């Protein structure tokens, strides 16, 4: 419990989940976004996007007046002493980061600081490339406020590590808090806020300079991407070795404490909004500094190629894809979200359409979003059973719980040609391969071998 009041600018995914997480523990949050329709929705307790548990908690925090959206940014700054900037930092067409939303927010915050007599702490939570807070945010704040950073107002960079699908949990139970500080007073103020907020349960707090904090976020996400491309590389090697199985390899190496078991699920590659964008931004940034990050480029190349593998397997096993009816199970970039940004499903479907296959897709929650991309080009089914009906091949693209319980009979009874390609390794091969045509990422062929 804390008596601190904070403002959060930007009610996108990170801003809203952080706001609700803070407000759920009795921290009063004043929220602001330039999209006033979004603010009106939030003030009615309606979440503008799907995230498990978010809407229920949002409604509670709004009803109890811990979270309120203000229509003027100025109010949000003047009524609180700490402001988190959580606006979007999308990719430009060349992969580098688009900082225009940060710039716009900072200029307006600077303008407001001019009118404020009390000390105020500005915290950059948006993912920004190293140097942004020092070289762009600070000068703009000083210029528009007419005040001195470190003396009249404080400045920190505090990256977030929220996963879609568990963002509220991650806000309330972070592995660590990273505080990049412009000056000690700023860092002390943010540490005090977090220590007061988390109490006894406060995780390790790492204090560092602004640029290091900015880089930590990129290093974190690009390491996760590297782990995935690594295990997908091992999966691709496994496929050339009769009887080999990447799942067994991952299980075994994951027991090595130096490696760890997480993010070793081989499959169709990583998607989503963050991992691909952050990797691209770090590559572009690094090149600008005169260093060619060959490892990161390789991680990206492996990931680009990975979704094509299931299309290739389908083509070989079906003897061509023209006019073949392919069922896609899963459209979301990962389970428990309706988000299809960067989803491998989109790449796979586009490839199948290029090959003149007919596609029918089912997803428990992402269908509406996918419909906007593939309007009229593919069919959408209302259930797994509908999706499989009279198809020649089924590709598992997202590992939703609902799909994990499917049995060979579910496919045999409904499909014209029971061929299952498990792109996420959710099925036990031994259960499926004797009953129908079965292929999976990271499974060496032939399967039965004395090796």
Instruction: Give the total residue count for the chain.
Output: 451
Which helix (H) or strand (E) element contains residue 288?
Answer: helix 274-288
Compute the least distance from the CB of residue 199 to ligand UDX, in Å.
24
Compute the least distance from the CB of residue 339 to ligand UDX, in Å.
8
Task: Name which of 8 and 162 has its Cβ closer to ligand UDX.
Answer: 162
DSSP of 366-389: -HHHHHHHSTTTSEE-SSHHHHHT
Strand partners, 329: 362, 396
Q: How wide is the angle at C-alpha 276 spanned by C-alphas 270 and 281, nearest 5°? A: 155
Task: Name which of 22 and 153 has its Cβ closer to ligand UDX.
Answer: 22
Task: Name which of 180 and 271 has its Cβ closer to ligand UDX.
Answer: 271
Contacts for 86 with CB less than 8 Å, ≥ 6 apart: 8, 9, 10, 11, 12, 14, 15, 18, 125, 126, 160
Only one residue has tokens 């997908």, namely 232
| Closest among 281, 122, 292, 277 to 210, alpha carbons compared | 122
Compute the least distance from the CB of residue 216 to ligand UDX, in Å.
11
Contacts for 159 with CB less than 8 Å, ≥ 6 apart: 125, 127, 178, 180, 213, 214, 216, 217, 220
Task: Name which of 275 and 440 has its Cβ closer to ligand UDX.
Answer: 275
Residue 17 annotated among the catalytic residues of the structure: no
Where on the chain is the footprint of ligand UDX (CB under 6 A)? 160-164, 221, 224, 228, 263-265, 267, 270-272, 274-275, 333-334
Q: Which of 17, 69, 274, 387 is catalytic?
A: 274
Strand partners, 443: 245
Compute the least distance from the CB of residue 254 to ligand UDX, in Å.
10
| Closest among 245, 258, 267, 225 to 422, alpha carbons compared | 267
Compute the least distance from the CB of residue 165 to ligand UDX, in Å.
6
Task: Name which of 204 and 319 has its Cβ closer to ligand UDX.
Answer: 204
Q: How wide is the angle at C-alpha 161 spanned by C-alphas 156 and 166, nearest 5°? A: 135
Q: Catalytic positions, please?
A: 274
């Amino acid at each position: 419990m804390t008596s601190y009041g904070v403002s959060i600018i930007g009610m996108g995914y990170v801003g809203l989940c952080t706001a609700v997480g803070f407000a759920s523990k009795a921290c009063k949050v004043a929220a602001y976004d330039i999209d006033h329709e979004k603010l009106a929705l939030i003030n009615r307790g309606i979440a503008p996007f799907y995230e498990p548990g978010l809407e229920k908690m949002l409604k509670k925090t709004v009803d109890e007046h811990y979270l309120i959206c203000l229509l003027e940014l100025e109010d949000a700054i003047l009524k609180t002493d700490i402001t988190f900037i959580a606006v979007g930092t999308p990719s430009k067409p060349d992969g580098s980061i688009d900082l225009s939303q940060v710039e716009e927010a900072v200029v307006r915050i600077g303008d407001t600081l001019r009118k404020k007599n009390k000390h105020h702490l500005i915290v950059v939570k948006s993912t920004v490339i190293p140097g942004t807070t020092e070289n762009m945010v600070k000068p703009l704040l000083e210029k528009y406020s007419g005040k001195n950073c470190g003396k009249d107002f404080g400045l920190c960079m505090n990256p977030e590590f929220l996963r879609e699908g568990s963002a509220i949990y991650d806000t309330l139970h972070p592995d660590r808090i990273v505080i990049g500080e412009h000056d000690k007073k700023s860092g002390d103020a943010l540490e005090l806020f977090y220590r007061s907020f988390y109490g006894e349960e406060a995780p390790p707090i790492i204090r560092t300079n602004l640029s290091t904090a900015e880089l930590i976020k990129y290093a974190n996400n690009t390491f996760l991407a590297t782990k995935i491309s690594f295990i997908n590389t091992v999966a691709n090697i496994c496929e050339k070795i009769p009887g080999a199985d990447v799942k067994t390899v991952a299980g075994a190496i994951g027991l090595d404490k130096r490696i760890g078991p997480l993010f070793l699920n081989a499959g169709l590659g990583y998607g989503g909004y963050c991992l691909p964008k952050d990797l691209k931004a770090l590559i572009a940034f690094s090149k600008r500094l005169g260093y060619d990050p060959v490892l990161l480029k390789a991680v990206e190349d492996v990931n680009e190629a990975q979704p094509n593998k299931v299309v290739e397997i389908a083509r070989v096993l079906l003897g061509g894809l023209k006019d073949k009816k392919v069922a896609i199970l899963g459209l979301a970039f990962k389970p428990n979200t309706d988000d299809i940004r960067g989803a491998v499903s989109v790449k796979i479907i586009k490839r199948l359409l290029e090959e003149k296959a007919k596609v029918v897709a089912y997803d428990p929650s992402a269908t509406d979003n996918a419909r906007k991309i593939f309007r009229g080009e593919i069919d959408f089914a209302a259930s797994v059973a509908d999706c499989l009906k009279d198809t020649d091949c089924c590709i598992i693209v997202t590992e939703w719980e609902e799909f994990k319980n499917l049995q060979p009979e579910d496919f045999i009874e409904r499909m014209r040609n029971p061929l299952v390609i498990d792109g996420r390794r959710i099925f036990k091969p031994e259960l499926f391969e004797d009953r129908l045509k079965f292929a999976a990422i990271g499974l060496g062929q032939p399967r039965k071998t004395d090796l």
